[in-house]
């Protein structure tokens, strides 16, 4: 975790320099605050809140900084969004964002940075889930306290956000089995008990609440998620599991 903390300190310091008075706060969410960070498999989830829209030249400087820091991150790298304070409380859904970055977009930025800056803005349903984690379990790295910036996310908005992430699980499960198997557990845990869980916590909830014939899948997913292992998946069982879980969530 020392490498992660060093990277976060550098991110905070450089963000302050680039964004200046416009910076309201920087908040950490995801596995790093939920006790299941795996330096070889987890991304670094950050949310930056600003007061006003950011000029394109400042976005360019900020993105150059992020791309540079990302070279020191572990394989899944940094994932972040910048939002304006005005959409945080009262919470706006789907949530407008000023800028977004993940390694999925790294080559686009490297190849055509001004095109990236011009087009990487809009709304993102995923932010409802991120805001919820920040509100309940997040960590303020810099700036205003969480409860001073964020309002509570409506239950229907949070559910719509996490549902949109898994609604195609029946066809997509073999694209990323570990992620989808555990995510289905935590979505069902929220639907049944309104629990806000990490993927690890979701998997453990699933081991207690999902039929025994799917337990091996969940155990394999947890084992792969928390270690360096790779798993041979029983594809038919995985598809059957996804269909069962989607039916339970819809009901």
pLDDT of residue 230: 83
DSSP assignment string, 202-225 = HHHHHHHHS-GGGHHHHHHHHHHH
Q: How many CB atoms lie within 10 A of CB 245?
A: 24
Q: How many CB atoms lie within 10 A of CB 145?
A: 9
* pLDDT for 1 beyond 80: no
Coil, strand or helix at 188: helix
**89 vs 21: CA distance, rounded Å:** 20
Say how far residue 77 (Cα) sits from the centre of its chain: 12
CB 203 within 8 A of CB 184: no
At 73, is the pLDDT very low, low, confident or very high (cuts 50, 70, 90)?
confident
**48 vs 97: CA distance, rounded Å:** 10
* Cβ-based neighbours of 203, under 8 Å, separated by 6 or more: 181, 182, 185, 218, 221, 222, 225
Per-residue pLDDT, averaged over 41-65, amounts to 96
pLDDT of residue 2: 83
Residue found under tokens 């306290």: 145
Give the phi and the psi of residue 126 in degrees, each rounded to 5. -60, -25
pLDDT of residue 103: 95
pLDDT tens profile 141-199? 999 999 999 999 999 999 999 999 999 999 999 999 999 999 999 999 999 999 999 99
Per-residue pLDDT, averaged over 121-133, amounts to 97
* pLDDT for 231 beyond 90: no
Mean of the per-residue pLDDT values of the chain: 96
**80 vs 43: CA distance, rounded Å:** 10
pLDDT tens profile 194-228? 999 999 999 999 999 999 999 999 999 999 999 88
pLDDT tens profile 79-109? 999 999 999 999 999 999 999 999 999 999 9
Tokens of 166: 């898994």
Give the phi and the psi of residue 54 in degrees, each rounded to 5. -100, 130
Max Cα-Cα span within the chain = 56
pLDDT tens profile 22-44? 999 999 999 999 999 888 888 99
pLDDT of residue 38: 86
Q: Which of 40, 110, 36, 128 is nearest to 68 (CA)?
A: 110
pLDDT of residue 53: 97
**pTM score of the predicted model:** 0.95
Least confident residue range of 38-52, 122-136, 149-163: 38-52
> Number of C-alpha atoms within 13 angstroms, CB side, residue 85?
15
* Cβ-based neighbours of 87, under 8 Å, separated by 6 or more: 95, 96
């Amino acid at each position: 975790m020392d490498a992660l903390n060093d990277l976060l300190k550098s991110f905070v310091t450089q963000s302050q320099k680039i964004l200046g008075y416009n910076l309201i706060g920087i908040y950490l969410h995801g596995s790093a605050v939920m006790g299941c960070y795996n330096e070889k498999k987890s991304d670094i989830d950050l949310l930056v809140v600003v007061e006003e829209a950011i000029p394109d030249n400042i976005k360019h400087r900020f993105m150059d900084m992020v791309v540079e820091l990302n070279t020191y991150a572990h394989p899944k790298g940094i994932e972040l969004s910048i939002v304006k304070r005005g959409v945080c409380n009262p919470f706006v859904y789907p949530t407008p964002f000023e800028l977004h970055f993940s390694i999925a977009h790294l080559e686009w930025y490297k190849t055509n940075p001004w095109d990236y800056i011009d087009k990487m803005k809009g709304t993102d349903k995923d932010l409802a889930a991120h805001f919820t984690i920040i509100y309940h379990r997040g960590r303020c790295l810099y700036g205003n306290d969480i409860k001073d910036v964020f309002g509570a996310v409506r239950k229907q908005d949070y559910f719509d956000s996490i549902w949109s992430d898994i609604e195609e699980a029946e066809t997509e499960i073999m694209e990323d089995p570990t992620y989808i198997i555990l995510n289905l557990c935590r979505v069902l845990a929220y639907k049944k008990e309104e629990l806000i869980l990490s993927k690890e916590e979701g998997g453990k909830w699933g081991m207690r609440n999902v039929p025994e014939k799917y337990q091996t899948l969940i155990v394999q997913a947890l084992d792969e998620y928390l270690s360096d292992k790779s798993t041979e998946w029983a594809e038919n069982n995985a598809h059957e599991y996804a269909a069962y879980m989607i039916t339970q969530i819809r009901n």
